[in-house]
């Protein structure tokens, strides 16, 4: 039964990683626009190589 | 409450208007009703980013809206830029969009995730214990469970603790009191058992209780939030501005910044933003939104105009006379508030159940504790049994009984085009026995119908040219009816206040207006070309689509139907005859409508009020349940329980039947939950209950209740 000393912490840590990832996705607003995110992958990037969403960064 | 509704549709004299500037670096929200794909997102964002001064533009496709961060640029520039590339954009009033981010839903979902994570891990450890782990292993597992369960329960169950505390402080009791007590006691007594090497702990029960109940709470919140944000979007679309005249210049300002004696210009077709006295020329005013009267009235200089009325004649100016307390809008909103307060005394099904249930559970647990203490003399055994009773009876299924049904029912109604504001509205709707309808804008469409069959082709094209020169509802209706005709070329088009429109057509005078002005033998609406005999254009009110099947459907389900209209008796009676409604009350104003509704409820009627005007608002709030069409003013939509997003009212009887079956299913759910208790409670009282039993009973009853709730889908 000594294996439990390793297995229980391992299972707890794996679960905790999943939980923290979920909390992170909620906090960063990744569920605010689910439909939009699905469509955005289809947007072609500009020739300059900046996506429309972040084009403000390259704006003079 | 903001009721000043300004129609933004008119772009008249835009060059005269000093455009409203956006404060630096501020966020602007535009509604984009037409966008639906990646191409639209890219186009909108690229177009907006191309404007100087725009830092960031981000489209939210789910909410069909774009958030723009920019320096001071007129909001009209953004809209024009999008319009140029074929995208319809509407300004949203940012202050009306109270919850731009739904933080409460985010917090609830994190709590739900924590409870779920903890529940699954503790359940794994518990399974080992139930299958026979003993000695040091069991004690270790109990300790690990405690380490996971206690912080998780304390964090996740906070919404229940808060509500329970709020209720206890007011000397009342709600469903959250037994829930909190069960979670709290189960966690801490299990901790005590763990530290003293006890055999049975209830950590998994405490956590699954938290998880299932949070799930119900989350579903409830999300549905209500989506209904609320849709309603907010509708309100935010009406930006409250007025065109103030100062030193000969016209400036568009927020209505709230106006002062007494300011001069405000009311363009043709615009809604009057504040109460005021008419300055110079007479003005044609459509008061239908205030009193339900369909015929516009002519008012002369010095007379009063009220906020919410529409100028259908030539442009005019008013001086602001009343603001705040004394204004028409304020008086109405006070009436609404008092009516709403009366309705808030309604206790919903879940709370009524809790009032019987919570004391019963507490008494049962206390009795179990006392009798076991008397029998065995062992306080630890007695308290363990009392906790088992609390957990077994704990309203896991009871907590889910109502929210799961309302979520399913509200979701179903939303797909039918009905926006239900909360679950309690459904319960009230299920009990109504009398329907009261407003006429103008509810049973009938706001736009009247004109018969054009007896006009010749030339007459049609002249009539259209004339009609296009006026904002009078009849002219607008005529222009709509003639939309397939090419207008004739006319000159010197002029609107004659209180009479009609006239213009020169090939050296003849053509007139469109009322019969007296045309010197005709009829007094209604007509057309006269040159010296020819005037032609009458018959006018009738259009029924809203689906109204006839709706009325017969309502009667079939045993409801009485009344008409309560501000319009003249003849008009109300004509509509009543078509629809087969005999009890009609007409020529009543907002206060009288409210009084009639209050009287009906004191006689014992449970009234469903359906209306759209400002004059219906107080009545909507006073009614037992209320429905408003989406075309209604935001004040009416706010006062109503349900907003109909479609033009068609035909589905209304099925809304009532869905509400009724939702209440029936909720009651069934209570019964199912009670049945589980009936079996499990005696076992718990006898001290035979184990944590395994509690876990099985809890999940099984929750699942049954959930599945039963889904049956709402099959109601037609």
Instruction: Report chain B residues whose CB lies below 8 A from the CB of A18.
Output: 117
pTM over 0.80: no
For residue B709, is pLDDT > 70? yes
Rounded to a whole number of angstroms, the distance from the CA of A57 to the nearest CA of chain B is: 9
pLDDT at residue B232, as a whole number: 62
In B, minimum Cα distance to A42 occurs at B38
Partner A contacted by B483 (CB < 8 A): no
Q: Which is more confidently placed, A60 or B320?
A: B320
Render the burial of A27-52: b for 16+ CB within 10 Å, e for the rest. Answer: eeeeebbeebeebbeebeeeeeeeeb
pLDDT (mean) for B296-315: 79
pLDDT at residue B147, as a whole number: 93
Rounded to a whole number of angstroms, the distance from the CA of B106 to the nearest CA of chain A is: 6
For residue B142, is pLDDT > 70? yes
Partner A contacted by B41 (CB < 8 A): yes
Rounded to a whole number of angstroms, the distance from the CA of A6 to the nearest CA of chain B is: 14
Helices and strands (DSSP H and E) totals, chain B: 22, 28
Q: State the best of A7, A33, A58, A60 to mutate against chain B, taking most chain B CBs within 10 Å.
A: A33
For residue B386, is pLDDT > 60? yes
CB contact set of B211 (below 8 Å; sequence gap of 6+): B112, B115, B116, B119, B156
- By Cβ distance, the residue of A8, A16, A19 closest to B144 is A8
Q: Which is more confidently placed, B143 or B71?
A: B143
In B, minimum Cα distance to A45 occurs at B42
Instruction: Report chain B residues whose CB lies below 8 A from the CB of A45.
Output: none
> Which of B24-33, B186-195, B280-289, B453-462 reaches the highest mean pLDDT?
B186-195
Hey, are the CB atoms on A35 and B117 less than 8 Å from each other? no
Do residues B372 and B687 lie in contact, with contact meaning Cβ atoms separated by under 8 Å? Answer: yes
User: What residues are paired with B563 via a beta bridge?
Assistant: B437, B584
pLDDT at residue A58, as a whole number: 40
pLDDT (mean) for B247-258: 75
Hey, are the CB atoms on A35 and B61 less than 8 Å from each other? yes
Residues 46-105 of B with CB under 8 A from A: 46, 49, 55-56, 58-63, 101
Q: How far is CA B654 from the centre of its chain?
A: 19
pLDDT (mean) for B33-46: 82
For residue B598, is pLDDT > 80? yes
Hey, are the CB atoms on B113 and A27 less than 8 Å from each other? no
pLDDT at residue B8, as a whole number: 38
Instruction: Report chain A residues whose CB lies below 8 A from the CB of B137.
Output: 1, 4
Q: Which two tokens stand for residue B329?
A: 């809008």
CB contact set of B677 (below 8 Å; sequence gap of 6+): B392, B393
Partner A contacted by B35 (CB < 8 A): no
Q: How many CB atoms lie within 10 A of CB B113?
A: 20
For residue B467, is pLDDT > 70? yes
Dihedral sign from CA coordinates of B225, B228, B234, B239: negative
Partner A contacted by B573 (CB < 8 A): no
Which of these ranges, B291-295, B362-366, B588-592, B694-698, has the smallest mean pLDDT? B291-295
In A, minimum Cα distance to B69 occurs at A56
- Name the helix (H) or strand (E) containing B476: helix B473-481
Mean pLDDT of the residues in chain B: 80
In A, minimum Cα distance to B144 occurs at A8
For residue B615, is pLDDT > 50? yes
Tell me if residue B261 is catalytic: no
| CB-count burial class (<10 Å; 0-12, 13-18, 19+) for B23 | exposed
In A, minimum Cα distance to B122 occurs at A12
Give the 3-state secondary structure of residue B220.
helix
pLDDT at residue B651, as a whole number: 87
pLDDT at residue B143, as a whole number: 92
B157-214 pLDDT, tens per residue? 999 999 889 988 988 777 788 788 888 888 988 998 899 887 788 898 889 888 888 8
pLDDT at residue A25, as a whole number: 93
Regions in chain A scoring below 70 on pLDDT: 1, 45-60
Per-residue pLDDT band for B322 (boundaries 50, 70, 90) equals: confident
Instruction: Report chain B residues whose CB lies below 8 A from the CB of A26.
Output: 106, 109-110, 113
Give the residue carrying structure tokens 């794909």: B37
Rounded to a whole number of angstroms, the distance from the CA of B485 to the nearest CA of chain A is: 42
Say how many CB pairs under 8 Å bridge A and B. 67
- Interface of chain A toward chain B, CB-CB under 8 angstroms: 1, 4, 8, 11-12, 15-16, 18-19, 22-23, 26-27, 29, 32-36, 39-44, 52-53, 55-56, 59
Distances in Å between the Cα of A26 and the Cα atoms of A20, B47, B108, B447, B594 are 10, 30, 11, 47, 46
- By Cβ distance, the residue of B56, B114, B121 closest to A56 is B56
Q: Which two tokens stand for residue A39?
A: 């469509």
In B, minimum Cα distance to A37 occurs at B61
Instruction: Report chain B residues whose CB lies below 8 A from the CB of A39.
Output: 37-38, 41, 61
Rounded to a whole number of angstroms, the distance from the CA of B62 to the nearest CA of chain A is: 5
pLDDT at residue B706, as a whole number: 85
Do residues B393 and B181 lie in contact, with contact meaning Cβ atoms separated by under 8 Å? Answer: no
Catalytic residue among B438, B567, B612, B616: B438
User: What residues are paired with B444 via a beta bridge?
Assistant: B543
For residue B155, is pLDDT > 90? yes
In B, minimum Cα distance to A10 occurs at B121
| ipTM for the complex shown | 0.76
pLDDT at residue B144, as a whole number: 92
Q: Which is more confidently placed, B484 or B228?
A: B484
Partner A contacted by B356 (CB < 8 A): no
- By Cβ distance, the residue of A18, A26, A52 closest to B110 is A26
For residue B112, is pLDDT > 90? yes
Partner A contacted by B144 (CB < 8 A): yes
Distance CA B162, CA B715 (A): 36
Helix axes B203-236, B379-393, angle to 10 degrees: 30
């Amino acid at each position: 039964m000594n294996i439990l000393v390793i297995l229980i912490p391992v299972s707890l840590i794996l679960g905790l990683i999943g939980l923290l990832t979920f909390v992170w996705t909620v906090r960063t607003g990744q569920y605010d626009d689910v439909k939009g995110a699905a469509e955005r992958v289809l947007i072609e990037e500009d020739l300059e190589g900046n996506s429309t969403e972040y084009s403000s960064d390259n704006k003079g | 409450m903001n009721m000043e509704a300004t129609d933004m549709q008119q772009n008249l004299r835009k060059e005269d208007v000093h455009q409203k500037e956006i404060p630096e670096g501020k966020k602007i929200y535009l509604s984009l009703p037409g966008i639906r794909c990646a191409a639209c997102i890219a186009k909108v964002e690229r177009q907006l980013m191309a404007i100087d001064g725009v830092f960031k533009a981000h489209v939210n496709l789910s909410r069909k809206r774009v958030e723009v961060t920019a320096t001071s640029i007129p909001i009209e520039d953004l809209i024009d830029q999008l319009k140029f590339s074929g995208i319809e954009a509407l300004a949203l009033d940012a202050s009306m969009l109270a919850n731009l981010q739904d933080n409460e839903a985010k917090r609830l979902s994190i709590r739900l995730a924590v409870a779920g994570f903890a529940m699954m891990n503790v359940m794994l450890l518990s399974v080992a214990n139930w299958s026979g782990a003993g000695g040091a292993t069991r004690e270790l597992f109990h300790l690990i469970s405690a380490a996971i369960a206690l912080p998780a329960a304390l964090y996740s169950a906070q919404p229940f603790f808060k509500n329970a505390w709020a209720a206890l402080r007011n000397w009342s009791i709600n469903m959250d009191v037994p829930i909190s007590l069960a979670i709290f006691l189960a966690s801490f007594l299990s901790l005590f058992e763990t530290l003293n090497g006890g055999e049975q702990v209830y950590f998994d029960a405490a956590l699954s209780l938290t998880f299932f109940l949070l799930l119900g709470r989350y579903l409830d919140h999300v549905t209500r939030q989506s209904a609320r944000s849709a309603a907010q979007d509708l309100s935010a679309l009406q930006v409250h501005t007025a065109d103030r005249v100062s030193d000969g210049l016209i400036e568009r300002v927020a209505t709230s910044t106006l002062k007494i004696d300011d001069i405000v210009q009311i363009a043709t077709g615009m809604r009057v933003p504040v109460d005021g006295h008419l300055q110079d020329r007479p003005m044609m005013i459509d008061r239908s939104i205030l009193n339900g009267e369909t015929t516009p009235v002519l008012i002369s200089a010095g007379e009063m105009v009220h906020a919410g009325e529409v100028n259908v004649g030539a442009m005019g100016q008013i001086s602001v006379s009343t603001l705040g307390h004394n204004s028409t809008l304020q008086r109405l909103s006070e009436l609404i508030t008092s009516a709403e307060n009366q309705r808030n005394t309604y206790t919903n099904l879940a709370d009524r159940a809790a009032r019987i249930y919570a004391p019963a559970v507490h008494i049962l647990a206390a009795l179990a504790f006392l009798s076991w203490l008397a029998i065995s003399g062992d306080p630890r055994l007695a308290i363990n049994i009392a906790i088992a009773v609390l957990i077994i009876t704990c309203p896991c299924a009871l907590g889910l009984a109502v929210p799961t049904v309302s979520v399913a029912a509200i979701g179903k109604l939303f797909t039918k085009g009905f926006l239900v504001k909360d679950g309690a509205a459904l319960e009230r709707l299920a009990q109504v026995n009398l329907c009261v309808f407003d006429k103008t804008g509810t049973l009938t469409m706001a736009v009247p119908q004109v018969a054009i069959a007896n006009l010749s082709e030339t007459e049609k094209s002249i009539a259209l040219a004339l009609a296009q020169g006026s904002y009078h509802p009849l002219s607008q209706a005529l222009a709509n009816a003639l939309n397939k005709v090419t207008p004739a070329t006319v000159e010197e088009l002029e609107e004659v206040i209180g009479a009609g429109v006239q213009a020169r057509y090939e050296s003849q005078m053509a007139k469109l207006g009322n019969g007296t002005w045309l010197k005709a033998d009829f007094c209604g609406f007509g057309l006269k070309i040159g010296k020819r005999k005037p032609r009458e254009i018959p006018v009738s009110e259009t029924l809203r689509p689906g109204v006839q099947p709706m009325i017969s459907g309502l009667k079939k389900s045993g409801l009485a139907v009344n008409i309560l209209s501000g319009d003249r008796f003849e008009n109300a009676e004509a509509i009543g005859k078509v629809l087969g409604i005999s009890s009609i009350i007409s020529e009543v104003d907002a206060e009288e409508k409210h009084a009639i509704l209050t009287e009906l409820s004191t006689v014992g009627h449970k009234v469903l009020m359906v209306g759209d005007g400002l004059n219906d608002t107080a009545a909507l709030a006073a009614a037992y349940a209320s429905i408003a069409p989406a075309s209604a003013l935001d004040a009416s939509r706010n006062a109503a329980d349900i907003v109909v997003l479609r033009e068609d009212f035909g589905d209304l009887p099925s809304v009532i039947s869905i509400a009724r079956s939702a209440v029936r299913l909720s009651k069934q759910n209570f019964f199912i939950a009670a049945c589980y208790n009936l079996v499990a409670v005696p076992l718990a009282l006898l001290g035979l209950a184990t944590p395994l039993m509690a876990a099985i009973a809890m999940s099984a009853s929750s699942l049954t209740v959930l599945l039963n709730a889904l049956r709402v889908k099959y109601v037609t």
